[in-house]
Structure 1
Amino acid sequence: MRRLFAALALALIGGAAQAQAVPQWGYARSGTCDGYPRAAIETAPGLCVGLALAPPSTGLPLSKRTIRMPRGLLVLPDGDLLVSDLGAWTTGRGAVWRVTPRPGGPPIIRPVLRKLDMPHTLAVGPDGGVYVGEMSRISRFDPDAADPQATLTPVITGLPDNRLHENRHPLSAFIWAADGAFLVNVGAPSDQCPPTKPGGEPCLEAVRQAAIWRFAPTGPGKWADQPTVHARGLRNSLALVRTRAGTILQAENSIDVPQANWPPEELNVIEYGAHYGWPYCVAMNETAPAWKAQKVTCAPYRKPAMNLPPHAAPLDLLEYRGAMFPELSGRLLVTLHGYRPTGSRILAIELDDKGLPKAGQKPRDLTPGWGAVKGKRPAGAPVGMAVGADGAIWVADDRNGAILRLAKDRR
């Protein structure tokens, strides 16, 4: 009976938290933004946000949405968007959709893949194929085939079976190195991996997980079955990019603690063989709370190149090279997904000629007014980004089931 009452209490608490976190109103529209309905989101001067897809209310149950939780975006040569849909935080509910945006009306939405396990990243590989990352594998498929599902072919398998309720970070993200190697996120199973006893063993999770794995290329569209660890000490590398200069950058979601202003999230420069400190150290090499009693020294670990706002949850990185916003050319765009006040925004960070963030800068906030305002907008939850042929910036908002388009404000 005690267990039953405890379960009921947890359910009530969880339901109340969910009701508070999901406002019961959608994005208000006011005029247009480059042909699309203008969303009531305050932006930096010269920008506006258009709604390509959004349910009428963010309180609409997931089961009633066509695209339930859009995460990753990929622009196809004909201008269509591929959208990875997490579906739900469970297996077999994910999908990939093909979306044809229409400024004068609702988009055309067609299914491409079904019954996926929490899909996240979509990308074009060095062989020209289209790839999708699921919870424990990465596959190639042909979105233009008569039956795309029949073309779905796993190419990276054997990733940890990151079952959600046994692993806090089950999603796979990936990029390719300059030599064509697959670099794949393998998230930390826990938040802080606290020591089991004073003076005990180091965190065993950090030996192979909480890392970026490298699968060496073995031929066009082929990679080694067994990976090596490219970099470690990274709690969750969902935001990865290889810049035009060749630098690999990663945005780190740091540990969860009650303090609102600590620790900062991190922007790391990824180098082969480096250790970035998780779970022992956070921020600019400060000892993590769970490991202070162990007298951990942070000197051996790599410091971040830049601190990002605390608890902001960076989920995607993109080096902007589009024509619509010359002032953003070469800048690093970062989506901040977090539900705290530091989240719900997109930042632009200036890079130098080596693809490194310039020291001493304050990132430019492209969406400073994206917090929840009743009757106007829900709190934004941006995840994946993609740049269209015209230079517009497409953004997936998973919590609110929306696909947004940042464009030049022409009014």
Structure 2
Amino acid sequence: MWKHVRNITLIFVALGLIGVWYITRPDIAQLPLDAVTGPTPQITAGREQIFPTIAVADVDRWKTNEAPVVAPGLVVERFAEGLDHPRNLYTLPNGDILVAETNSPPRKMGGVEGFVMKWLMGKAGADVPSANRITLLRDANGDGQAELKTPFLTGLNSPFGMVLIGEKLYVANTNGLLIFPYKTGDTKITAKGKELTKFNARAPNNHWTRNLAASPDGKKIYISVGSNSNIGDNGMENEVGRAMVFEYDIAKDKKIPYAIGLRNPVGLGWDKAGRLWTVVNERDMLGSDLVPDYLALVEFGADYGWPQHYWGGFTDTRVKPLKPEKREYERRPDYALGVHTAPLGLAFGYNGKLGAGLTEGAFVARHGSWNRKPVSGYDVIFVPFPKGEPAGKPVNVLTGFLDKDGKAQGRPAMLALAKDGALLVSDDVGNIVWRVRAKD
């Protein structure tokens, strides 16, 4: 009898192990990344996952004299190092650079989701507390290295977006927009900021960044706010004021939704025609071939589909209730940036300082995947705009963030164009700001 019971027990254990293997096995991409990149990516059927594919690169930070691989005709240098999880960058009119040393606020997540998130952050080198600081970098002698690195603004709450209008510096904490006085050449702000408007930062606040872009006339500020979840998992009541770009009218002290249905818009930038663009991190757990992250023109009143739809009308059947009537009113993104590449930084290049081939278009920093096999992103690319619109395939600008063993020496995060025309790239794993310039 006991032998019979033992055999049944072993069978159930074996079935359980098989079930765990089936649920947790990684989904391997069936398409090359190139097929899901560009204006017309290949959209295949989703492969819904109960447990996400986990394939984040282990961290093995840059050693002395190591650097990413730069495109021909360019040089990459260390502009500043020894930073604390550098994210967003902003160039002041006098050439000083502001860098937000920041990270997610403490995550209040329990259970399996919390355990997986904590493990992933540790594996990706992102499990560091937020410094909650903006640091000023100054290269006074023009040698391509910041000899001054000093705390500029402290005591913030996961700061990210920064924009200067006149003598007012606007900073986006994860929970609100602040304004500070600034004078050209200041190396420190001690004044207490005034909060102008609040943002929904309700826990778990998964997409915590709030980026800023000032309108060309300086009268309005555009604010990107990501969703609180993958596809509204915690209820859409927790997504109020999220997954959108806001327009904040400074004179009226009023913020309105400008464009919605954007799961996690991060980088914001203006093209030379004065149009606003963003890069967006799309949804997870539909396999390694879905859904392409993207670059999109941000149009007033546009709905980009999240959470019900993606890429101009494809239905995510996991989201209930289904809303097929929405599809005809939703806007398709303009350019796919590959699946799970996690684009963060966006900067338009029109100054010609990096060569003729990198003039008409947009630089994009792809932070790198954690849930695709094989991994994707971990690079900086240039998306050509040959006739004022994104077209063709991207051009590699900065690669080699993964070493020969597939470990992450760094991860490119945000971008800015320096006053001299060089491209600055924050690396939040390497704790470096890289400077890319044309060869002498």
> Where on the TM-score scale, by shorter chain, does this alignment land: which range?
0.7 to 0.9
Q: 1: CA distance between counterparts of 2:415 and 2:330? A: 31
Does the 8 Å contact 1:40/1:377 carry over to 2? Answer: no
After superposition, give the CA deviation of every residue in 1:324-378 in whole Å (9 maximum; x if it has no partner).
213212311111112353211111112255x4323xx00111124332346x983
User: Secondary structure at the residue paired with 2:133?
Assistant: strand
Written as runs of structure 1 = structure 2, the 5 A alignment for 1:277-316 is 277-291=305-319, 294=322, 296=324, 298-316=327-345
When residues 40 and 112 of structure 1 are mapped into structure 2, their CA distance, relative to the original with a 3 A threshold, is: closer
Match of 1:332 among 362, 371, 374: 362
2:209 corresponds to which residue? 171
After superposition, give the CA deviation of every residue in 1:288-333 in whole Å (9 maximum; x if it has no partner).
2413883735333111111111101111211113342132123111
Written as runs of structure 1 = structure 2, the 5 A alignment for 1:57-72 is 67-72=83-88
When residues 145 and 190 of structure 1 are mapped into structure 2, their CA distance, relative to the original with a 3 A threshold, is: same
1:114 corresponds to which residue? 154
Written as runs of structure 1 = structure 2, the 5 A alignment for 1:248-267 is 248-257=276-285, 259-267=287-295
The runs of 5 or more residues in structure 2 that have no matched partner are 1-53, 107-128
When residues 22 and 131 of structure 1 are mapped into structure 2, their CA distance, relative to the original with a 3 A threshold, is: farther
Match of 1:51 among 59, 75, 78: 78
2:19 corresponds to which residue? none
When residues 178 and 159 of structure 1 are mapped into structure 2, their CA distance, relative to the original with a 3 A threshold, is: same
Q: Does 1:391 align with 2:418?
A: no
User: Secondary structure at the residue paired with 2:273?
Assistant: coil
Q: 1: CA distance between counterparts of 2:260 and 2:144? A: 48
1:372 corresponds to which residue? 403
After superposition, give the CA deviation of every residue in 1:257-303 in whole Å (9 maximum; x if it has no partner).
26222110021111111111000111242112413883735333111
The residue type paired with residue 230 of structure 2 is D
When residues 88 and 170 of structure 1 are mapped into structure 2, their CA distance, relative to the original with a 3 A threshold, is: closer
Written as runs of structure 1 = structure 2, the 5 A alignment for 1:85-234 is 85-86=101-102, 89-90=105-106, 93-101=131-139, 103=143, 107-125=147-165, 127-141=166-180, 142=182, 148-154=188-194, 156-160=196-200, 162-163=201-202, 165-178=203-216, 180-194=219-233, 203-204=236-237, 208-218=241-251, 223-224=252-253, 226-234=254-262
When residues 106 and 189 of structure 1 are mapped into structure 2, their CA distance, relative to the original with a 3 A threshold, is: closer
When residues 53 and 284 of structure 1 are mapped into structure 2, their CA distance, relative to the original with a 3 A threshold, is: same
2:264 corresponds to which residue? 236
Larger radius of gyration: 2
User: Secondary structure at the residue paired with 2:189?
Assistant: helix
Does the 8 Å contact 1:311/1:338 carry over to 2? Answer: yes
The runs of 5 or more residues in structure 1 that have no matched partner are 1-17, 30-38, 56-66, 197-202
Give the TM-score, by structure 2 length: 0.72
Does the 8 Å contact 2:62/2:409 carry over to 1? Answer: no
Q: 1: CA distance between counterparts of 2:94 and 2:215? A: 27
After superposition, give the CA deviation of every residue in 1:75-115 in whole Å (9 maximum; x if it has no partner).
33443321111056448731011123475977331111112
Give me the CA root mean square deviation.
Answer: 3.1
Does the 8 Å contact 1:337/1:381 carry over to 2? Answer: yes
When residues 289 and 336 of structure 1 are mapped into structure 2, their CA distance, relative to the original with a 3 A threshold, is: farther
The residue type paired with residue 428 of structure 2 is D
The residue type paired with residue 222 of structure 2 is L
Does the 8 Å contact 1:394/1:404 carry over to 2? Answer: yes
Q: 2: CA distance between counterparts of 1:405 and 1:343? A: 19
User: Secondary structure at the residue paired with 1:366?
Assistant: strand
1:82 corresponds to which residue? 98
Q: 2: CA distance between counterparts of 1:178 and 1:320? A: 16
When residues 281 and 105 of structure 1 are mapped into structure 2, their CA distance, relative to the original with a 3 A threshold, is: closer
After superposition, give the CA deviation of every residue in 1:207-236 in whole Å (9 maximum; x if it has no partner).
542111222231xxxx51x42211111112
Give the TM-score, by structure 1 length: 0.77
When residues 397 and 311 of structure 1 are mapped into structure 2, their CA distance, relative to the original with a 3 A threshold, is: same
The residue type paired with residue 190 of structure 2 is A
Q: Does 1:401 align with 2:401?
A: no
When residues 78 and 194 of structure 1 are mapped into structure 2, their CA distance, relative to the original with a 3 A threshold, is: closer
